[in-house]
Amino acid sequence: MLAVNGIDAALVRSLTEIVGEPHVFTAPDQRRTYEVDWTGRFVGSTRAVVRPGSLDEVVAVVVLCRSAGIAIVAQGGNTGLVGGGVPLAGELVVSLRRLDRIGPVDAVARQVTAGAGVTVAALQQVAAAAGLRYAIDFGARDSATVGGTIATNAGGVNVLRYGGTREQLLGVEAVLGTGDVVSRLGGLVKDNTGYDLASLLCGSEGTLGLVTAARLRLVTMHEQRLTALIGFSSISDAVDAVGVWRSSLDCLDAAELMLDAGMRLVCAAFGLPPPLQRHWPAYVLIEVAAHDDPTALVTAAVGGVATVREVAVAIDSVRRAQLWRYREEHTLAVGTVGVPHKFDVTVPISELAVFVRDVPGRVARVVPDATTWQFGHVGDGNIHVNVTGTPPWANGRGGYIDDGGLDEQIYRYVSELGGSISAEHGIGTAKAGWLHLNRSAAEIAAMRAVKRALDPDGIMNPNALLPPVT
Ligand code: MLT
Ligand code: ZN
């Protein structure tokens, strides 16, 4: 939003007429938390944050912005990690947090309708109260919203069993960049009537429209859960073991990789005792969920892998949560060291151990003083590479960050290995310039054509996902 003050005043008046004064934030202290991502790496500014409370208000905001040529960045819980949800080029922030209604659970169809502003944790609680489960889960569950998870096609820890957000989506209600509303919340499981707009909007990172509500699939709530944290002498032993358990344990819900340095950091940052008697170069946390007690099954599966060095097992929820802390606190622990430069990538399982081994050396080639932390969802090949100790690189055009060649090191390596530069966090502004490594010129042209059709004036998150036309 590049308008001068007088025009801003008119805009604020119009926004206030739509949503009411309490829901337009213009004061710096009101705007601040919306202008920076939670890692502190992406810092922007906006003249206003608008918080619509209904579909009609979202439509009116989009129509107003379209007629005034004002760019929009949608925001939910602001837990994004790729600079896709903060106003890096002065966009108007449209916070969808007030769209927080959850409809009744249809326990027979196993579905629920949730507003974009519903948190993942709130949705999980409603599902659990109905004896069901929402399959998307990750550490930021208390803040991340349904709308944000759809925008990024978020994954998390249960993807290997249930798929990512797109797989949970039966339909959406959304306001396109044209101001038109598309709505398909009927929950038909089989519905082959043309283009699947819900799938298209999922992962579109707010570049085509604003998702206001979604019809979501719920899954079985298994009564029996077992979590095990297992130590290995090497990364490749850990990765190979997960390959074995993926086929021997049908009830495997999660398989997460951690390394010694990250484990020590988590213990130090949160005052936790080491989880096992000894420290190990690599750890895998597995969780299984079944109707019957899975202990015998897991004991046989874990015992059948000769490279397993040490195991801690938990069945009760308190102890299981304690084991999960070692994994989930990695993100916050890394944040205590410095502002992380995050890489969320997938590589083929066959290349994963080599990738994890080689990445610190590749980082050191361009930023010798940096520290590399790796952890992630080894069950689906998704590794989170976090780099701290980098110089304070400045934001560039449209939020792009000059990073001293670090992106190039990592993304070209991922690409050489046949991987993806974005597994579950999205492209945002951080990776738009690297999209060509994963998408052909024809694919990017098709994406641009879709964007032009649904967002003809280019107001929807214009600096995210697609690279600038040069
Ligand atoms: C995780 O798996 O912990 C999240 O994707 C967040 C992160 O990468 O830090
Ligand atoms: Zn993750």
SS3 129: helix
Rounded to an integer, the average pLDDT of 437-457 is 98
38 lines ligand 1 (CB under 6 A): no
Residue to mutate (ligand 1; options 344, 373, 383, 422; most atoms within 8 A of CB): 344
pLDDT at residue 330, as a whole number: 98
Sorted by sequence, the CB contacts under 8 Å of residue 231 that are 6+ apart come out as 276, 278, 279, 280, 282, 283, 308, 309, 310, 311
Domains of the chain and CATH, by start: 9-98 (3.30.43.10), 111-220 (3.30.465.10), 224-331 (3.30.70.2190), 338-451 (3.30.70.2740)
How far does the chain reach from its first CA to its final CA, in angstroms?
22
DSSP 8-state secondary structure symbol assigned to residue 272: P
- What is the share, in percent, of the chain residues with pLDDT greater than 70? 96
pTM of this structure: 0.96
Question: Does the Cβ of 426 fall within 6 Å of ligand 1?
Answer: no
User: Under the phi-then-psi rule, with left for phi > 0, alpha for psi from -120 to 50, and beta for the rest, what region is 465?
Assistant: left
pLDDT digits (tens, 9 = 90+) for 375-403: 999 999 999 999 999 876 555 444 445 67
At 401 the pLDDT is 57
Q: How far apart are alpha carbons 6 and 12 in whole angstroms?
A: 10
60-67 long-range Cβ contacts below 8 angstroms, 24+ apart? 60/18, 61/15, 61/18, 61/19, 61/94, 62/175, 62/176, 62/177, 62/179, 62/209, 62/210, 62/459, 63/179, 64/11, 64/14, 64/15, 64/18, 65/92, 65/459, 66/177, 66/178, 66/179, 66/457, 66/459
pLDDT score, position 35: 97
Give the tens place of pLDDT for each residue, 34-62: 999 999 989 999 999 999 999 999 999 99
- CA 221 from centroid of its chain's CA atoms: 23
Q: Which atom of ligand 1 is nearest to the CA of 330?
A: 3
Share of the chain above pLDDT 90, in %: 93
Report CA torsion sign: 212, 217, 222, 225.
negative
Q: Are 416 and 423 in contact (CB under 8 A)?
A: no
Residue 11 has pLDDT above 90, yes or no: yes
Output the pLDDT for position 393: 59
| pLDDT on residue 398 | 43
Report the pLDDT value the prediction gives residue 438, as an integer from 0 to 100: 97
What pLDDT shows up at residue 390?
84
Would you state the pLDDT for residue 21?
98
Question: Tell me: the pLDDT tens digits for 277-330?
Answer: 999 999 999 999 999 999 999 999 999 999 999 999 999 999 999 999 999 999
183-212: string of b/e by CB count within 10 Å (b at 16+)?
A: ebbebeeeeeeeeebbebbbbbbbbbbbbb
Q: Is 139 helix (H, G, I), strand (E, B) or coil?
A: coil
Most informative mutation of 39, 81, 136, 160 for ligand 1 (most atoms within 8 A of CB): 81
**Tens digits of per-residue pLDDT, 71-108?**
999 999 999 999 999 999 999 999 999 999 999 999 99
